[in-house]
Structure 1
Amino acid sequence: MKQFGVFYWFAAPFTFGAVQLVLLPLLVPSRIYEITGSMLDTGIALSCVGVCGLFAPIIGRTVDSFSLHGPAIIFGLTCYTFSMAIFGNAVSEASMYAASFLLGIGSITIMTINPTFIIAAKLNRITESFYLTRMNQFVHLGAIFATGLSISIKHLPVWKQFIMISVFTIFATITTAMDVHKASKQIDIDKHNAPKTEKRHWNPTFAAFLIAVCIAMVASTNQIVYGPTLFKTLFSIDHTLIASVLGVSSALSLLTLDLVNRTIYRTCSTKIWAIGLIGYIAVALSLRFLTHIDTKTAYLPLILHLLFMQFMSVIDLVKPAIASKLSLRSPAYTQGALLFATTIGYALGVSIGGFTAEALKLSAVFLVVSTSASIALLIASYVSFKQNQ
């Protein structure tokens, strides 16, 4: 399977795509509300998932310090298993909080360690981009699988649905364990060329990159989180059509990522990152323009939203590699810092978007997307300039 860029430990990103991207939004909120009977408690429990992102640098540094990359992946998948089992058998609010926290820790651990297996190995640029592409494609394959799974088991009682998902994560853990130890042995903690004494200091260019990632996350969060509401209110588009676009996006991302992989080794990753940000700006401004014209066509806003998600997939593909090249820190700690910036950006994005929609009007959210992406693009240009010096 290696010649096809596929490893058994890809069951981890596959499971992440299934659980985090599909099963979490489809099943978890309604289950929490069913148990607690309170939207406030539901929101607090779900926030436990997001808050876990703040622990990403700690997780990464600990894993690097003790070379626990293999066990960490197994731990993350095991957190998924227990989380789904608790959701299925929960009877109290406390159990909802515990299950949500385990789900968050599982996702953050997997997201921190997965790219490390590739970017911290002694690979040439072409092989590295090839493996990163395959890994990200497995995330989307997991999302497609989970969509089909959720449809096939929707007739079952909710607790049985969660138990089946828990069993699925057990199989994923067993599959991952088949070669994760071998993959962890290939990780070179000291891959960076900087002297070890330098690793105690932050690289200013890497810090600028994290700031850009945080600001860009404000843009993508507003588009993805508030998008369905905006489309329904501003363009009278039914949620069913929006859900269909999400499914099509995951399938289309498989092709998009493969196309990017064929060109990534010919150009700098930061340039591809900048192209993705330009795509954010173009889509947001186009959607903003559509709100000012009298149009009843639903397909155009949906196509633009689909295009936005493709740009987002491309950005998610290149970010780990850029972080690895800019950082003087250890590999998993670097990915943890990247996730920390992403988490902060998500929190800021949700807050800024909600305030903007309330204080101004719904269509102003598209301006938040374009403005934050423009700021991120300026910083990305600086990062690219410093990297090429």
Structure 2
Amino acid sequence: MKPSKLWYLAQGSVGVVQWVSVSLLLAPIIIQNTGSGGLMGMVIAIIGGFGISAPFIGKLADSYALHRPLQKIALVAHLLALVLLYFSGNGAFLYYVIGGLIGFGTVTLMLLNPTFVLSSSQNQQQEGKGLARLYQSQFVGVILAALLVAGLQSLGFTVHTQLIALMSLTGSILVILIVFPPEQVAQIESEQTKVATQASTNAPWWLFLLAVFFSMFLSANLLEMGPVLLEKLFAVQTSSSAIGMAGSALLSIILLEPAGRWIQRSGPFKVWSCALAAYMVVGVALYLMIGHKVQSFLPVLFMVLLMQACSWSDMSVPAIAARLSPLTPALTQGTLMFAIAGGFAAGTMMAGVSIDQFGFGSVITFSTISMFVSLMFAGALAIKLARR
């Protein structure tokens, strides 16, 4: 990677903290220390709930050219969350603070990093290549963090040692970003935004946001609670989930390359549609497995498929938003993050309550039903765009 592009590794913190630390450490720690599925769901909902602030963060960044400072602050928030998790016990308040820090850091990185890429892209080819590299960096973070957790667990090291390792990894990413910052976002009324404004109507934009919102019910629940669900429903050990996550992340790095080329040729809509179809397949497959004796590799295999779908969706939705939104660059991504994080928060909070009332299997049922709703909005969007 060229030195000027090393800032892409900032996206790796999303992989380290949002993907690995939350699912492999935060969720199990909460269950172990408090025994409350409701608290786990609430904390994860807080992480997603920070999407409410995403449009404000985007508007702030655009209005005062704070894109780069806010990017660094987001990484500091991720690092501080891991430090506080190290000192956590059975009190609920500290977990809420940790969830807030992770939520702020993830939302800010997820809206600003694609903004940097899209701002510097001169055409669809550069856009596809840049987004592919950005999200490949995210999965480099997933691989390194998951292998660290799995390796330390297999060697008998405590959760505290695992957290120290992840703190070191996140701190290294912060240092790299300070030394190799991205180019400043080119101005607010960018040519790309003007084109998007002229080509857009409100209906496709809102249909897109609703489809994204409801798709998050499945992706958030199955990713963030995945290792816990696999352990409770299919007796899959956490260390096996960590290894599966690392292998899946490596596969994602490979498959993001053809996905990026697909965007370069055909744009982002087909890639996103493929991701939504994969979400539905995973939800239905896991639902059909509940209550049956299955080989442990089968649910892990479908979780691997889910991670590939998530990587394709994450890469394509910023570009779709830039095409449909009448808003300024970071505000566009902030509004998209509002839909993403709002779906994350609503879905995981309801899933946490569902666990306490109906058991872990209800999360998969609830998530799969929500995916049907998402596909309805995505279908309406496709019809609307086809009639243009």
- Tell me the TM-score normalized by structure 2: 0.82
Give the stretch that moved more between structures: 215-224 or 332-341. Answer: 215-224
Aligned-pair CA distance for 1:364: 5.9
Deviation for aligned residue 1:167: 4.6
In the TM superposition, what is the alpha-carbon distance from 1:24 to its structure 2 partner? Answer: 3.4
Residue 298 (structure 2) pairs with residue 297 (structure 1)? no
SS of the residue corresponding to residue 180 of structure 1 reads coil
Tell me the equivalent position of 2:128. 129
1:76 alignment counterpart:
74
Q: Which runs of 5+ in 1 are unaligned?
A: none
Q: Distance in 2 between matches of 1:77 and 1:228?
A: 25
- Contact kept? 2:201, 2:324, Cα under 8 Å: no
Higher relative contact order (Cα pairs below 8 Å, separated by 6+ residues): 2
Cα-to-partner distance string for 1:191-241 (whole Å, 9 max, x where unaligned): 335499x79x98221111111101111122343355545545554544444
Residues 1:249 and 2:248 aligned together:
yes
Q: Which amino acid aligns with 1:114?
A: N
List runs of 5+ in structure 2 lacking aligned partners. Answer: none
Alignment of 1:202-351 (within 5 A): 203-225=202-224, 227-228=226-227, 231-232=230-231, 234-291=233-290, 296-351=294-349
* Structure 1 position 44, deviation (Å): 5.8
Determine the C-alpha separation between the residues in 2 that align with 1:362 and 1:27.
18
Are the structure 2 counterparts of residues 210 and 98 from structure 1 closer, same or farther at C-alpha, using a change threshold of 3 Å? Answer: same
2:318–2:333 Cα contact (<8 Å) kept: yes
Alpha-carbon spacing, 1:121–1:359, altered in 2? closer, same or farther (3 Å) = same
Alignment of 1:137-156 (within 5 A): 137-151=136-150
Deviation at 1:274, TM superposition (A): 1.5
Q: Is the counterpart of residue 191 in structure 1 residue 212 in structure 2? A: no
**SS at the partner of 1:184?**
coil
Query: How many Å separate the matches in 2 of 1:157 and 1:224?
Result: 23
Alpha-carbon offset, residue 149 of structure 1:
3.1
* Letter matched to residue 184 of structure 1: Q
| 1:15 aligned residue | 13
- 1:326 corresponds to which letter in structure 2? L
- Higher mean C-alpha displacement, 330-339 vs 147-156: 147-156
Deviation at 1:73?
0.9
Measured on the aligned residues, the alpha-carbon RMSD in Å equals 3.7
Give the C-alpha shift of residue 164 in structure 1: 5.5
Which segment drifts farther, 342-351 or 156-165? 156-165
1:260 offset after TM fit, Å? 1.3
Instruction: Name which of structure 1's ranges 36-45 and 206-215 shifts more when overlaid on structure 2.
Output: 36-45
Q: What's the offset of the Cα at 1:77?
A: 1.6
In 2: Cα distance, 1:356 partner to 1:270 partner: 33
Deviations 1:32-87 (A, max 9, x none): 789x8785877766554333222111111100111111111112122233444444
Q: What is the TM-score when the length of structure 1 is the normalising length? A: 0.82
| Amino acid of the structure 1 residue aligned with 2:58 | G
> Displacement of 1:312 after TM fit?
2.0
Following superposition, the deviation at residue 130 of structure 1 comes to 0.8
**Given the superposition, is the C-alpha separation of residues 311 and 100 from structure 1 closer, same or farther in structure 2, using an over 3 Å criterion?**
closer
Contact 1:88 1:161 in 2 (8 A): no
Cα deviation for residue 107 of structure 1 reads 1.9
Structure exhibiting the larger radius of gyration computed from Cα positions = 1
How many residues matched?
Answer: 382
**Percent pairwise identity:** 27
Counterpart of 1:374?
Answer: 372
CA distance in 1, matches of 2:231, 2:31: 24
- Residue of structure 1 in register with 2:58 after alignment: 60
After superposition, what is the alpha-carbon deviation per residue over 1:361-384, rounded to whole angstroms, capped at 9, x for unaligned? 866654544433233223223323
Change (3 A) 1:127 1:311: same
Q: Structure 2: how far apart are the matches of 1:136 and 1:184?
A: 20
